[in-house]
């Protein structure tokens, strides 16, 4: 067979000539397309991209001589105006996401009465008007907006926009060919003539763009335009003057930035994926400068400084095998939410301090026993003193000032669920952006029976997956503080709260009953985003589609550390040929039928000593999959050793080997009575989930019932909720003494080593924060937890309400 080299010239000179011929042919094709007679559209996408290549990289720029920005833009865009939209679809990612996010914000603010029912939209650098047409996928542009202004400096692009809207018949859209720095809304609004007359009469009149009562723009957007404007500072300033007080700003653009530049800022809305490598920064800055696109960090930095951040996303466009950095940013007025009254109300809600005492009225000294501040309040004061925007959590759908003026109790605050935290601290980053628990093990029915929550209670509980927190909210206590050190656990809970705030029951069931939803990303952007903090939104935009939507994913409950355990159990059943038996066990309608299936097959696997010794007693497995810390495992082994010592002292007792048997006995004594006394198909969703990987309509947590949805979807359902990302001791140390009535710490105290003072510190803090006769409920893997005595030594009366013994179960 003849090799390829047979057909290629071997002389280097011939190789050069051949290469030049190939390049010449390519350039001729580019020029042929570029000089195609005007008025004829390119026949296909290939021709469009050839024209784009010619305009961007071959055609000389003729607008440089005058120094005029409009001439420079026209030189760049005129030759490609007719193919602009066709060639930017893949290159300019994130535009649809930005439009979906601002549309969701506008609809929500319209429903809340914060902005006009028919808002005004100004799209700066709107070019061909493609953004406005794409907005039609989210709202009816002619019906929803009173007026839309597409502002651009390129006459060629503006001509394309006018043709577009003439074709669509949208008469409320106006195309303005003007420098964005000089655009003033009042010059194009109906009130302009009246204003001119007032000015001629020398009456003092506020600029319409700065007067909410006169009308201002409720939406201002920029799509890949900020990076192309040389004098960007005045443009961003003009955006601020255009925006109404409760309006929304949306920007999407390219960027490159180093973590050194933003590392210590708390107002950026999160830094997930924001850092770009050095080679990436150098390459993209140099590459884009060819087309006069500037990626210096100052543009995005000034945008975030000038406004408050509502949502922020850092992403990569996978374009022809390369990863091109871009961001989507949603903002609001920097001053929206900065009032002293608002800061004090939110601070009072986080610290359980009286509202008037939380206000710094400078009328006299505040009693020392209630001089407590939340970390959110302290961060806000630091920012305000430095003229910086507040952290993004403060701008999470704030209520208008006129509503705050009517409030008498902090519980009426809306959507300030998530308390600000520093996501760069090692205590948070050590979880590697992953939750351990995708579901909650603790039995909410047992909690309800023992605690009997009333509307006057103030509850503090560990978040975990949030299932039990939602059960507490069903009882409508005055306040519920959800606390977890792992940010991702709170992200998961925040997703559930946002879902109940806006989604129908059918979507709730798909997300958290089945653990999958084919339209998760659309729901996240179009429905859930107005109800989520920036950090949680970023997390789920990045991870959610892979968990809920990807065909390769098995769903929510196979994600996180606990999902590893479910996958291993499922794998074992498949290897051992027991998958059909598991299905029958989960479908059994009587306890006798369930017991028979359990005894004849499945028990031999779950209670296998080989499985226990190789997996369940492995420290890495216990932490990664089950969330069991070494200290808790030590408690299990200590109880086993006590029993073994008793058996050795009693010759008539059967002798058992030590070591790996501790966890085996724990699993046996825990699983066996539960499976033999509770029916999985109707009343034990905990075990059903571990076997099926999802819930069923007849067996699910309390919060997933249709009746619960009716309660949790009410506008006031989460008024008293606060989500803290911190240690319990840190949260309660910042609370006014004697305010909590119920604290649920689950098994968290099992994590403390007996040799340290962490338990003592937390128990004393709990005593300080609780009212007299306030209750702490805890669970433990140990039969006699060592720290119960510490409770008794520090002012608590201790009572055991249930204990794990062979043959009986504590709860489900």
Grade residue 641 by pLDDT with cuts at 50, 70 and 90.
confident
Structure tokens at 798: 């201790």
Comparison of pLDDT for 174 and 323, the residue scoring more: 174
Contact 767, 735 (CB under 8 A): no
CA distances from 217 to 43, 361, 621, 792 (A): 40, 35, 55, 62
Report the pLDDT value the prediction gives residue 780, as an integer from 0 to 100. 87
Q: Strands 217-223 and 120-124: what pairing?
A: parallel
Calculate the average pLDDT of the chain.
81
Query: Could you tell me the sign of the dihedral formed by the alpha carbons of 191, 192, 193, 195, in that order?
Result: positive
Q: CA angle at residue 399 from 394 to 405, to 5 degrees? A: 115
Closest-CA residue to 529 (of 60, 104, 89, 35): 104
The angle that helices 560-575 and 685-692 make with each other, rounded to 10 degrees, is 70
Grade residue 655 by pLDDT with cuts at 50, 70 and 90.
very low
Task: Give the whole-angstrom CA distance, residue 191 versus residue 511.
Answer: 48
Residue 313's H or E segment, with its range, is strand 307-319
Task: Give the whole-angstrom CA distance, residue 61 versus residue 72.
Answer: 7
pLDDT for residue 647 is more than 70: no
Closest-CA residue to 242 (of 262, 263, 217): 217
For residue 447, is it left (φ>0), alpha (ψ between -120 and 50) or beta? alpha
Closest-CA residue to 156 (of 77, 230, 242): 77
Place of tokens 């929550």: 453
pLDDT for residue 307 is more than 90: yes
Contact 637, 783 (CB under 8 A): no
Report the pLDDT value the prediction gives residue 806, as an integer from 0 to 100. 73
Helices and strands (H, E) in the chain, number of each type: 38, 12
Contact 729, 723 (CB under 8 A): no
Query: What residue ranges define each of the domains in the chain, with the CATH number in brackets?
Result: 4-67 (no CATH), 90-333 (3.40.50.150), 340-390+406-412 (no CATH), 426-528+710-793 (3.40.50.150), 560-692 (no CATH)
The angle that helices 487-502 and 534-544 make with each other, rounded to 10 degrees, is 90
Structure tokens at 520: 């998760």
pTM over 0.95: no
Closest-CA residue to 560 (of 501, 658, 486): 486
Structure tokens at 270: 């999160």
Q: CA gyration radius for the chain?
A: 31
CA distances from 418 to 81, 122, 263, 421, 494 (A): 45, 31, 21, 9, 8
Grade residue 358 by pLDDT with cuts at 50, 70 and 90.
very low
pLDDT digits (tens, 9 = 90+) for 360-401: 444 344 444 446 888 888 888 888 888 899 888 888 765 544
For residue 629, is it left (φ>0), alpha (ψ between -120 and 50) or beta? beta
Partners of residue 307 on adjacent β-strands: 333
DSSP state of 41: P
What is the DSSP annotation of 108-133?
HHHHTTSS-SS-EEEEET-TTSHHHH
pLDDT digits (tens, 9 = 90+) for 691-732: 899 999 999 999 999 999 999 999 889 989 999 999 998 999
Report the pLDDT value the prediction gives residue 664, as an integer from 0 to 100. 67
Grade residue 603 by pLDDT with cuts at 50, 70 and 90.
confident
CA 377, chain centre distance (Å)? 22
């Amino acid at each position: 067979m003849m090799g390829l080299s047979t057909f290629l010239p071997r002389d280097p000179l011939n190789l050069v000539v051949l290469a030049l011929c190939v390049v010449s042919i390519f350039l001729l094709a580019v020029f042929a397309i570029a000089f195609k007679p005007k008025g004829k559209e390119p026949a296909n996408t290939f021709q469009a991209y050839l024209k784009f290549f010619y305009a961007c990289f071959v055609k000389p720029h003729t607008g440089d001589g005058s120094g005029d920005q409009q001439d420079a833009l026209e030189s760049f865009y005129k030759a490609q105006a007719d193919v602009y939209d066709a060639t930017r679809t893949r290159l300019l990612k994130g535009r649809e996401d930005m439009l979906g996010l601002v549309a969701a914000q506008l609809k929500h603010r319209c429903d809340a009465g914060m902005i006009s029912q028919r808002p005004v939209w100004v799209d700066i650098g709107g070019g061909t008007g493609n953004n406005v047409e794409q907005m039609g996928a989210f709202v009816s542009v002619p019906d929803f907006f009173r007026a839309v202004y597409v502002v651009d400096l390129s006459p060629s692009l503006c001509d394309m926009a006018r043709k577009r809207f003439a074709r669509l018949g949208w008469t409320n859209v106006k195309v303005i060919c003007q420098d964005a720095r000089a655009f003033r809304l009042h010059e194009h609004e109906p009130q302009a003539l009246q204003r001119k007359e007032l000015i001629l009469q020398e009456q003092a009149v506020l600029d319409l763009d700065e007067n909410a009562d006169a009308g201002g723009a409720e939406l201002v957007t920029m799509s890949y335009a900020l990076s192309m404007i040389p004098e960007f500072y005045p443009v961003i300033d003009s955006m601020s003057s255009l925006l109404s007080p409760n309006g929304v700003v949306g920007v999407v653009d390219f960027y490159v930035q180093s973590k050194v530049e933003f590392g210590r800022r708390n107002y950026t809305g999160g830094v997930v994926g924001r850092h770009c490598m050095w080679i990436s920064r150098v390459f993209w800055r140099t590459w884009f400068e060819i087309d006069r696109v500037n990626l210096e960090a100052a543009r995005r930095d000034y945008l975030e400084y000038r406004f408050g951040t509502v949502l922020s996303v850092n992403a990569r466009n996978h374009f022809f095998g390369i990863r091109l950095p871009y961001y989507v940013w949603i903002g609001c007025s920097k001053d929206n939410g900065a009032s002293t009254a608002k800061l004090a109300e939110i601070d009072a809600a986080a610290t359980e301090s009286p509202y008037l005492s939380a206000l710094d009225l400078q009328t006299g000294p505040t009693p020392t026993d209630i001089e407590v501040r939340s970390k959110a309040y302290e961060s806000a004061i630091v920012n305000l003193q430095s003229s910086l925007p507040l952290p993004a959590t403060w701008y999470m759908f704030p209520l208008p000032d006129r509503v705050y003026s009517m409030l008498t109790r902090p519980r009426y605050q809306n959507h300030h669920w998530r308390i600000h935290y520093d996501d760069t601290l090692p205590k948070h980053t050590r979880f590697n952006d992953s939750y351990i628990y995708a579901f909650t093990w603790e039995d909410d029915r047992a909690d309800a029976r023992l605690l009997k929550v009333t509307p006057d209670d103030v509850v503090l509980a560990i978040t975990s997956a949030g299932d039990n927190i939602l059960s507490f909210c069903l009882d409508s206590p005055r306040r519920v503080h959800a606390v977890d050190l792992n940010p991702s656990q709170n992200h998961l809970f925040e997703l559930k709260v946002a879902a109940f705030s806006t989604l129908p029951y059918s979507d709730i069931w798909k997300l958290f009953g089945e653990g999958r939803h084919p339209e998760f990303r659309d729901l996240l952007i179009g429905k859930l985003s107005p109800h989520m903090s920036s950090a949680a939104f970023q997390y789920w935009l990045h991870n959610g589609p892979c968990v809920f939507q990807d065909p390769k994913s098995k769903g929510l409950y196979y994600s996180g550390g606990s999902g590893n355990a479910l996958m291993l159990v499922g794998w074992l059943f498949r290897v051992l040929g027991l998958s059909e038996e598991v299905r029958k066990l989960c479908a059994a309608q009587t306890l006798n039928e369930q017991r028979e299936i359990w005894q004849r097959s499945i028990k031999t696997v779950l209670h296998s000593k080989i499985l226990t010794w190789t997996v369940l007693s492995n420290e890495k497995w216990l932490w990664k999959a089950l969330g069991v810390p070494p200290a808790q495992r030590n408690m299990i082994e200590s109880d086993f050793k006590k029993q073994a010592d008793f058996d050795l002292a009693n010759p008539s007792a059967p002798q058992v080997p030590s070591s790996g048997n501790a966890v085996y006995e724990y699993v046996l004594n825990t699983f066996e009575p539960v499976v033999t006394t509770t029916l999985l198909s109707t009343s034990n969703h905990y075990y059903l989930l571990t076997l099926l990987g999802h819930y069923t309509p007849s067996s699910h947590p309390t919060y997933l019932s249709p009746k619960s949805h009716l309660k949790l979807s009410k506008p006031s359902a989460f008024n008293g909720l606060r989500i803290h990302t911190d240690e319990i001791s840190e949260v309660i140390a910042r609370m006014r003494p004697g305010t909590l009535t119920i604290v649920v710490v689950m098994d968290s105290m099992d994590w403390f080593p007996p040799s340290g003072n962490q338990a003592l510190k937390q128990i004393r803090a709990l005593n300080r924060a609780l009212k007299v006769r306030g209750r702490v409920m805890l669970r433990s893997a140990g039969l006699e937890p060592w720290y119960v005595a510490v409770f008794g030594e520090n002012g608590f009366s201790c009572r055991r309400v249930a204990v794990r013994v062979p043959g009986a179960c504590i709860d489900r």
